[in-house]
Copies of this chain bind each other. A is one copy, B any other.
Amino acid sequence: MENEEAPNALREAREEFVSQWGTIGNAWGINRTMAQIHALLMTSSKPLSTDEIMEDLQISRGNANTNLRDLVGWGLVRSVLRKGERKEYFEAEKDVWKMFCIITRERKRREISPAMDVLRKCGEKTKVLKTPEAKEFSAQIQALLDFLKIGERVMESVAASEQNKVMKLAFKLCT
């Protein structure tokens, strides 16, 4: 009896983690299922197949497939092939620092760069104008752009740095 307890407690905790992580992911603008699959794989001791994931999360094959592809696209999950088996298995990157770097780079690419493009374009069009209103507009756009430029560089640098180096600076900041 007692040796049954531990696995159950684990299963429950894991189930809660997976379910809650879905909600968290949602708040981050990531879809629920994708976050849940990620949580599942992050805490799995072995790679899982599409069918195991479908079974575990009670989702359709299409849904599982799409979200797994997206996770692979992000670089947060990779597929592994077992010798002598056709089926594809999936495992998550578990190193937290590596995860962070991947997410940082991806956010830079998806969120910062397009915003900078928009700002640059609007800046171009207005920086030649001479009315006070136009100058004010132009200055505000430029201020946003300058800030994002720095942000972009910092994100790239952080994602390319050794964890230690970043942690030291982080510590410096917090004292």
Among B43, B158, B161, the residue within 8 A (CB) of A140 is B43
| Bound-complex Cα distance A170 to B146 (A) | 14
Is the beta-carbon distance between A96 and B166 smaller than 8 angstroms? no
Residues of B within 8 A of A118 (CB): 16-17, 20-21, 24
| Bound-complex Cα distance A32 to B150 (A) | 25
> Within the oligomer, what is the number of copies of this chain?
2
Is residue A67 within 8 Å, beta carbon to beta carbon, of the partner chain? Answer: no
Closest to A130 in B: B6
Among B114, B134, B169, the residue within 8 A (CB) of A172 is B169
Residues 130-141 of A, flagged 1 when their CB comes within 8 A of B and 0 if not, give: 111110110011
Known: A43-B137, A114-B27, A174-B153. A7 touches B131 (CB 8 A): yes
Is the beta-carbon distance between B158 and A166 smaller than 8 angstroms? no
Is the beta-carbon distance between B9 and A129 smaller than 8 angstroms? yes
Is residue A59 within 8 Å, beta carbon to beta carbon, of the partner chain? Answer: no
Is the beta-carbon distance between A10 and B133 smaller than 8 angstroms? yes
Is residue A12 within 8 Å, beta carbon to beta carbon, of the partner chain? Answer: yes
A57 to chain B, nearest CB (A): 17
| Bound-complex Cα distance A124 to B137 (A) | 52
Known: A28-B111, A130-B6. A14 touches B173 (CB 8 A): no
Is the beta-carbon distance between A173 and B167 smaller than 8 angstroms? no
Is residue A94 within 8 Å, beta carbon to beta carbon, of the partner chain? Answer: yes
Q: Which 5 A-B pairs have the closest CB atoms?
A: A29-B29, A20-B118, A13-B125, A17-B122, A96-B147
